Structure formats: structure tokens, C-alpha cells
Amino acid sequence: MDSLEIDTPMNFCQACAVRNRAICADLDDEEIGLLNAIGRRKRLRAGEQLLWEGDEAIIVANVVEGVLKLSTQTADGKEQILGMVYPSDFLGRPFGETTPYGVEALSDAQVCVFRRADFDRFAREHPRLEHKLLERTLAELDRARRWMVLLGRMNAEQKLATYLVETAERLLPANCDETKLGDERTLTLPLSRQQMADVLGLTIETVSRHISKLKKEGLIDLPGRRELTINSLKALAERGG
Amino acid sequence: MDSLEIDTPMNFCQACAVRNRAICADLDDEEIGLLNAIGRRKRLRAGEQLLWEGDEAIIVANVVEGVLKLSTQTADGKEQILGMVYPSDFLGRPFGETTPYGVEALSDAQVCVFRRADFDRFAREHPRLEHKLLERTLAELDRARRWMVLLGRMNAEQKLATYLVETAERLLPANCDETKLGDERTLTLPLSRQQMADVLGLTIETVSRHISKLKKEGLIDLPGRRELTINSLKALAERGG
DNA sequence: TTTTTGGTTTGACCAAAATCAATGACGACC
DNA sequence: GGTCGTCATTGATTTTGGTCAAACCAAAAA
């Protein structure tokens, strides 16, 4: 299957949901028009793979909608999730020969796809875009390094608590605190237990055990397998070290 | 102490040892002159700290000579080394408020230091420099992510073997192989056992034990505490998973 | 030379997480 | 409503790496 298969022409950047947050935010109308001409909108179903690890780096993309994971396999078959990308995030490896990780949609998703060669050329000719990309890449590097501390120096409980706090901060309605009740402290986990294990460098059993432990201790509740209620974000954050 | 203390004015980029490899490589003479005007050469002694974690991001720098480590502390006092920088590498956090890691010289070193504000302005006005910085940052992100796999999914032996192979590949004379004898397969380790532990997310005892194990098994020899002889790079690489 | 010092090695023991193995629960589909 | 398949939980056991403590060693200082 051709990975540049076109689902929808990307005609209307103007109406794009992430127009003001993605790396194209600083471009003027003329530039947007040019970018429009080299990009294509693509829809992905949950579970569909956009890029394979080690592939020639043919494409890069902007996320418009949905959540995707970046991940890699070890020689002995274990998986490590390297990062998650959300709407307005950029993915792929510009200015590189191969894509160093696989990309898979975790939910149904929409992305703007560019051939890497086209994108590289466009970027070099448009410093404002390159600047945005640089700022994002620097922020991503900071994030990867914080995650290195989690992977290298935290125990299972700290890893899990840190992950849950981070997830809550991203997904829970803003300025939610302990005083809120019910739904407002409940979120839908974007990852399965196995995927959490792959993010945290643990096994599924260890994740499950520590989630149960946090529940038993009253810090969280589990209305459903994919539902999580935070009873005390503060206490949870303290467990994160 | 003012961290912009000047040791030597950075007058002669032309004569700089890393002139053709650092991010300034693509600049023309006029641009180099401008960059020259905002940078200062600084010497560091082994063990001296250039940046403190959490500091306002006042400065960024290019490494001219020596090796430095980027590292961070956890709440419970453990250290995680996030990366090492070598001559021609860039360090610091441009376009950011705070420096997310401490920087310490592991050997005597020389760096070109810039006030962050000056550097940021210069970079925005010189897309060729920004492009170089972007390429480096992307490469660094790839490297950080590969390290995440090591930290998250490898056991102690795999971590150590991987580290030793990587170190050998950087420090051993090029195209060295098993057929070589004696000195040509021996290198000086740039890190102490404790620092290796901090890079690999282990304790010093575990590092020591596994080094002894690899020695007992004949894959390596230890002529001195800081000396390492590789008997079989291939076999060592296999241990790395 | 002897002493001191700091990094390193080694051993005994312990705790945490992985592994192995059932069992349980939920949703999709018939 | 029942059955299948997937995912999650729980328990028993093993393995790994961490912790604590002691010995070791080499280089620098006295």
C-alpha cells in the first residue's frame, strides 16, 4: 500500500482545527497556499500504522485530530513507547534518512502528510516555519530527557503516579482540583495497561498491581477499565517523587 | 560568581578547532564576525560546573575542547546523566526560560559562551545558523530516544555492554577489529564507575559486578581502573541485545 | 616510606519487579 | 442470553538489581 495514499486533498488550511497551534501558525496566506499544495490530509483508523520503524523517512506530518504513539521494538521483542503525539504536534524525521520509530494511531485520527523531500525544501525556504519546528523540537527534547529520569531512576509506583498525574493534567478539564466531584475528576485513559507498561518500561502485571494498590489506598477510583477518577491529585503527585 | 566571567576574548573563530563542525560552520566571514562579538571563550577545569539545573537559561555554549555531562537530580538525591557533549557540540536551552539540566565539565574544557538573549536574537536573524541548530537538535532527540529504550527495556548486562560498545566506537581508533592487538584495542574510559551508573540508571555496585563478569568471561580486560581492552567487540555487541 | 583518601570490588542479604500460571471481567458477535 | 476472544487482575515463585557493609587498591599527601 502506498503510504502517500490520498484520502482528502488538504484544501482548507484556513479551516484547519490546529491552524493556530501547529508549526504552520506563523505563515502568511501565500505561504499557507504553497504548503497546502504539497500536503495531503489523511485519515487513520485506531490501530492503523502511519510509519514503520527503519523505513526510509519518506513522510512527515502534522496531527490534526486524535492520538498517535511513537514506538520502537527491542531485539527480544519488547516494545518501548517513545512518545505520544496529540493534535497540533508534528511527527516524523525531517532532514534524516530513516524514521527512527514506528507511528501508530491509538484513536481514529487525521493528519496532514507531506513528502519529506517537499517538506524539507519548503522548510529551508521559510525560516519562520523552521523556527517553529526548532522550538517544538527543543521542547520535545526536554520532554524526552525528563522521561529518561523517569525510566532510569524511578520505581514502579513513582512511574505510574507520575504518568497518571501527567495524563490527568492533559485530559482533565482545566483547574480541576480535589474540591470537584464526580465526572469532573474522571477521565478516559488513552492507553491500555499494556501500553502504559510500554511507556513506563514495566510489565503489564506490575502496572496492574500498582494501579490496584493506588485504588486500595483511595487515591484513585476505577469506574471502568479505561476510566480513571482522581481523588487527590496532590497525594498522587507526591507518590511521583 | 558571574557565570559570564571572561577568560579569553573569542577573537579568532577563524582559528577555532571546531570551526568547521560546530553550528557556526555555514556562516560567512561577516556573520562569524558578528557572532564573535557576542561570544566569549571560557576555560573550565575538570569538575567545574557551567550551568545549574533550574537556573534561568542565561547562557548557551559551543564546546571547543573537552567533555561535559548534562545531568539532573531526582527528589531523593539520585542522579541521572542525560547526555554527554563533546567538541563541536552545542549545549544549553535556546528559546527557553530555564535550563532543564546541570552542565559540568568532566575533563578540562573550553567552550564558547553566549548570553542566551544575544544568541537567540542572532539565531533568528540568521536562518543558516538556525538550520544547523535544528539538525543538531533533531539528531540529539533521536539519540535521547534510543537511550530511552536502553533505560526502559534493557537489563544491567545489556545496558553495560551497549555502553561499552558505544564508547569503544567513539574512542577506539577507526576500523579497529578483533584482529588488532594490545594498545589498539585499549581505551581510557571517560567516566568513573559511579558516572557510568548514572548514565545507565544503575548503581555503582551493579556496574562493577557486571564489568567483572564480562572480564571473567574474557570479553574485556581491565589493565587499570580507567583502562578497558575490548577482546571481542562483536561478542560484546551481542550482549547488548 | 607510611598514611590517607577516594574510588572500586566483593559478599551477604533483601526488596522490587519479572515471570509463570490461573482466573476474572467485559464487549463483540452469534 | 450464551460464547468467544481480548484484556486485566491476582497469586505464587523466581530473578534481578539494590542496599548495607567490609575489604581492597592505587595514587597523592605527609
- Higher-confidence residue: A125 or B179? A125
Beta pairing class for A8-9 and A39-44 = antiparallel
Give chain B positions within 8 Å (CB) of A155: none
Please answer whether residues A90 and A136 qualify as being in contact, where contact means their C-beta atoms are separated by less than 8 angstroms. Answer: yes
Predicted local confidence at residue A5, as pLDDT: 52
Predicted local confidence at residue A57, as pLDDT: 76
Predicted local confidence at residue A132, as pLDDT: 97
* Cα radius of gyration (chain B): 19
DSSP 8-class letter at B207? H
Question: How far is A14 from chain B, CA to nearest CA, in Å?
Answer: 26
Cell numbers for A118: 517537499
Mean pLDDT check: name the lowest of A8-12, A66-70, B9-13: A8-12
Question: Which residue type, as a one-letter code, is found at position A87?
Answer: P
Average pLDDT of B215-220? Answer: 96
pLDDT tens-digit map of B115-156:
999 999 999 999 999 999 999 999 999 999 999 999 999 999
The CATH 2.60.120.10 domain(s) of chain A lie at 8-147
Average pLDDT of B197-211? Answer: 98
User: Which residue matches cell numbers 574474557?
Assistant: B218
Q: CA separation (Å) from B53 to A229, B70, B179?
A: 34, 9, 45
pLDDT at B215 over 70: yes
- Higher-confidence residue: B41 or B2? B41
- Cα B127 to its chain centre, rounded Å, is 25
Give the pLDDT band of residue A84 (cuts 50, 70, 90).
very high
Does domain B8-126 fall into CATH 3.90.1660.10? no
Q: Which residues contact A154 (CB under 8 A, 6 or more apart)?
A: A162, A240, A241, B74
The CATH 2.60.120.10 domain(s) of chain B lie at 8-126
Predicted local confidence at residue B15, as pLDDT: 83
Nearest to A141 by CA among B147, B151, B37: B147
Average pLDDT of B65-70? Answer: 95
pLDDT at B205 over 80: yes
CATH number of A8-147: 2.60.120.10
Strand C bases, protein C-beta under 7 A: 7-12, 16-21, 26-27
- Cα A101 to its chain centre, rounded Å, is 13
Q: Do A153 and B127 touch (CB under 8 A)?
A: no
Whether nucleic acid strand D comes within 7 Å of the CB of A192, the answer is yes
Predicted local confidence at residue B1, as pLDDT: 44
Any CB–CB contact under 8 A between B78 and chain A?
yes
Triad A144, A149, A150: Cα angle to 5°: 90
pLDDT tens-digit map of A173-209:
655 555 555 557 899 999 999 999 999 999 999 999 9
Please answer whether residues B185 and B229 qualify as being in contact, where contact means their C-beta atoms are separated by less than 8 angstroms. Answer: yes
Q: CA separation (Å) from B130 to A137, B26, B66, B119?
A: 12, 10, 24, 10
pLDDT at B56 over 90: no
Which of the four CATH numbers 3.10.20.30, 1.10.10.60, 2.40.128.720, 1.10.10.10 does domain A154-239 have? Answer: 1.10.10.10
Average pLDDT of A105-111? Answer: 94
The CATH 1.10.10.10 domain(s) of chain A lie at 154-239
- Closest nucleotide over all strands to A204 (CA to C1'): D8
